[in-house]
Amino acid sequence: MIMSRIEAPRDEDSAAGTLVGRLLGVLPPDSVLTDPDVTASYAHDMASFCPAGTPAAVVLPRTVEEVQHVLRTATDLRVPVVPQGARTGLSGAANATDGCVVLSLTRMDRILEIDPVDRIAVVEPGVVNAVLSRAVEEHGLSYPPDPSSWETCTIGGNIGTASGGLCCVKYGVTAEYVLGLDVVLADGRLMTTGRRTAKGVAGYDLTRLFVGSEGSLGVVVRAVLALRPKPPAQLVLAAEFASAADACDAVCRVMEEGHVPSLLELMDRTTVKAVNDLARMGLPETTEALLLAAFDTADPAADLAAVGALCEAAGATQVVPAEDAAESHLLLQARRLSLTALEAVKGTTMIDDVCVPRSRLGEMLEGIERIAGKYRLTIGVCAHAGDGNTHPTVCFDAQDPDESRRARESFDEIMALGLELGGTITGEHGVGVLKKEWLAREIGPVGLEMQRAVKKTFDPLGILNPGKVF
């Protein structure tokens, strides 16, 4: 049936012709893009310095069956498949490889179910994070994971990269909200993992194996997500410090005293200045480090007062609680602008994602400053400080080969420092292309061998997002 609908391949391009013909056997024409100008726009995510190839086609399926057909076809023809969400990732995990099918899940964007008693949502992978967040809010619920790109990134992408966000210090990462998945395997078979119940331990936890696997083990086509009751609006406090070390000391004191802030963020002087330059936010530029703490508890003002006192004890030069929700919102907006603002400094950035034990955060920031000096570079740091998760952001002029080389070297040296301090090369952005040479250094040869073995178990032909993670 399908075969009869295949057009004869053009001589000069018979492999691609066969592929596209097979795809069009089941997918409608508007779901299979082959115009090189169009497909090129799907070639890469938001990471710098990551090679991206030329796709043979971009497919935009609307149903599980269509995804299965794409994978079956790719298996038959041994064509690589690169699953994609909104391409807001920062590690090149969604970058095309030459001759691949880009499998964009953005059209599978239905919220299938929201249940306030069971506190779950069932969604397709293309649902935008903010769309889901707003939809569940109407039911008095919250979906906590809030990556900076939450207005555009998709749940499928969040699952693929195991995204974090500002909320993680209290609410954890995406992985903790994924209860069950429907996954299309490399050969097109559909597998259901996990559960829709609050608990469940039937067999190995394959759900969590897929979270953060960057589309290299299978394609998520449906997810059961855990929700929480919507918390009270959070109130934010800003504390200025005369040194990054003091700010990190404050972070340690806050956590050691048992506080549970809903966010605990740090912006260094470079970042503060960049945000002011971009958006005239009026942040205090005399500070060496600005700490933002928030609580969404029953009495956030009381919690902020306690945290403010700890900041002062750690040497804060000024502690300013937001007067109300509007002021809180402004402070968070400033924080969320950080990466964009740093990009404006020199035109290009490499955003690192090193997470260290929070007790080592001070050493990490000190080391980053040393590395910036050594390589004569501007490196701004914003950090999910409560998690020890830093985003050292190297600002450079991509037209300047020497500065680009120094940027790349400093980026690597920051990762090495993170590992030395007992940290990880990636707290929430993933490995992708950008850090795959670093994975072995972090997890060691036995870990790497077993990870490769897992990959081979799920994708024996190596067609799923090849060249990523490893």
Among 32, 81, 127, 173, binds its own copies (CB under 8 A): 173
Q: Is 197 in the site for its own copies (CB under 8 A)?
A: yes
Q: Is 259 in the site for its own copies (CB under 8 A)?
A: yes
Q: Is 450 in the site for its own copies (CB under 8 A)?
A: yes
Pick 23 or 421: Cβ nearer its own copies: 421
Distance CA 332, CA 340 (A): 14
For residue 142, give Cα distances in angstroms to 94, 137, 178, 221, 235: 28, 6, 14, 22, 17
Distance CA 308, CA 264 (A): 12
188: left (phi over 0), alpha (psi -120 to 50) or beta: left
Q: Is 140 in the site for its own copies (CB under 8 A)?
A: yes
Residue 22 and residue 14 in contact, taking contact as beta carbons nearer than 8 Å: no
**Residues 29-58 close enough to bind its own copies by CB under 8 A:** none
Q: Is 206 in the site for its own copies (CB under 8 A)?
A: yes
Nearest to 96 by CA among 52, 35, 34, 154: 52
Pick 17 or 212: Cβ nearer its own copies: 212
Q: Is 315 in the site for its own copies (CB under 8 A)?
A: no
DSSP state of 231: P
Pick 162 or 267: Cβ nearer its own copies: 162
Q: Is 442 in the site for its own copies (CB under 8 A)?
A: yes
DSSP state of 319: E
Site residue total, its own copies (CB under 8 A)? 89
At 101, is the secondary structure helix, strand, or coil? strand
**Residues 105-124 close enough to bind its own copies by CB under 8 A:** 115-120
Radius of gyration of the chain (CA): 23
For residue 265, give Cα distances in angstroms to 280, 294, 332: 20, 9, 9
Among 273, 384, 391, 468, binds its own copies (CB under 8 A): 384
Residue 438 and residue 444 in contact, taking contact as beta carbons nearer than 8 Å: no
Region from 31-39, 194-202, 274-282, 332-340 binding its own copies, contact rule CB under 8 A: 194-202
Pick 4 or 457: Cβ nearer its own copies: 457
Q: Is 4 in the site for its own copies (CB under 8 A)?
A: no
Pick 32 or 120: Cβ nearer its own copies: 120
At 421, is the secondary structure helix, strand, or coil? coil
Q: Is 358 in the site for its own copies (CB under 8 A)?
A: yes
Pick 352 or 387: Cβ nearer its own copies: 387
Nearest to 466 by CA among 219, 188, 207, 217: 217
Pick 34 or 451: Cβ nearer its own copies: 451
Region from 19-27, 31-39, 277-285, 453-461 binding its own copies, contact rule CB under 8 A: 453-461
Tokens 């178990």 belong to which residue? 457
> Shortest approach of its own copies to residue 362 CB, angstroms?
11
Among 104, 193, 404, 465, binds its own copies (CB under 8 A): 193
Count CA within 13 A, CB hemisphere, residue 204: 3
